[in-house]
Amino acid sequence: MGALTGRVAVVTGASRGIGKGIAVALAEQGATVYVTGRTVTSGTYPLPGTVGETAKECDRRGGKGIAVRVDHGDDAQVAALFDRVAREQGRLDILVNNAFSLPEDLTDPNPFWEKPLSNWEMVDVGVRSNFVAAWHAANIMASQKSGLVVAISGYTGVSYTYGVVFGTAKSAVDRMARDMAVELKPHDVASISIWQGLTWTERAERNLANIPGLADQASTRPENGCSPEYPGRVIVALATDPDIMKRSGGTFITAELGRDYGITDIDGTMVPSLRTTRGEPIWSPV
């Protein structure tokens, strides 16, 4: 039996990337994981990965993966997802808000006024979508008097990274997690935000291989990177920490949580914290 046997999780945006890594890491510890995303057919998106493939990998790792096609910009689809979780499982223990709409020009150096207004989609699916998913999750978790909501954020909460909208979205995610914690505290439900540095997702590998100079930027230096499963390992530790409420409301650097819990990456290395070079979180536990 794994540390999360009997637990139920929803991981949003898990067709690939960080979401897939987290879903697999939770499943490896026995969790039932609802894997959400828009990609259900291989080849329909420029990068590899589908919700079905992630769910199958969850099964292979020892948990149970349940693939659900969800556009997190569509409130009705999100509502249907959580209705299904409640109906099929009767509980929800972990929500990982990872879904984020990344425009293809994210790493282009152009200033915000030379990029399309459609880049605001990072707020629609990245901030608003977090709130909608957490709203539904909280309705389940508050009544059962337990649960953990995790927002995936980054150093861009305090350090310029890529552009105006990206920084705005991640800063909002941190504050939202903190204020949710205030209102969830009486119900013994924890809400935190974690800061990822460079993560070796399919997109990151493609961009570093094809964009000159990207590997020299503070936010994307390869020597500081980690696997997509690493934050999942940290979330497992958070979800099984009997004192998790003492962390609720805080924003944490994933690498520092890993150090606290004695967690290494899949290759056995300790992931470095970039606090001294990229900044430190603003929000402490409530």
- The count of domains in the chain is 1
Q: What is the pLDDT of residues 188-199, one digit of tens each?
A: 999 999 999 888
- When pLDDT is cut at 50, 70 and 90, the band that residue 207 belongs to is low
Q: What is the pLDDT of residues 91-142, one digit of tens each?
A: 999 999 999 998 989 888 899 999 999 999 999 999 999 999 999 999 999 9
Is 126 a member of any domain? yes
Is 283 a member of any domain? no
CATH of the domain at 224: 3.40.50.720
**Helix, strand, or coil (residue 114):** helix
Is 286 a member of any domain? no
| Residue (of 190, 64, 51, 186) closest to 134 by Cα position | 190
Is 2 a member of any domain? no
**Helix, strand, or coil (residue 200):** coil
**Residue keyed to tokens 């992931």:** 271
Domain encompassing residue 244: 8-278
Distance between CA atoms of residues 112 and 127, nearest Å = 19
Percentage of residues in the chain having pLDDT higher than 90:
83
* pTM metric for this prediction: 0.94
**Helix, strand, or coil (residue 151):** strand
Distance between CA atoms of residues 114 and 105, nearest Å = 11
The answer on pLDDT for 89 being more than 70 is: yes
Percentage of residues in the chain having pLDDT higher than 70:
96
Is 62 a member of any domain? yes
Q: What is the pLDDT of residues 165-204, one digit of tens each?
A: 999 999 999 999 999 999 999 999 999 999 998 888 777 6
The answer on pLDDT for 206 being more than 90 is: no
Tell me whether residue 180 is exposed, middle or buried, using C-beta atoms within 10 angstroms of its C-beta: 0 to 12, 13 to 18, 19 or more: buried
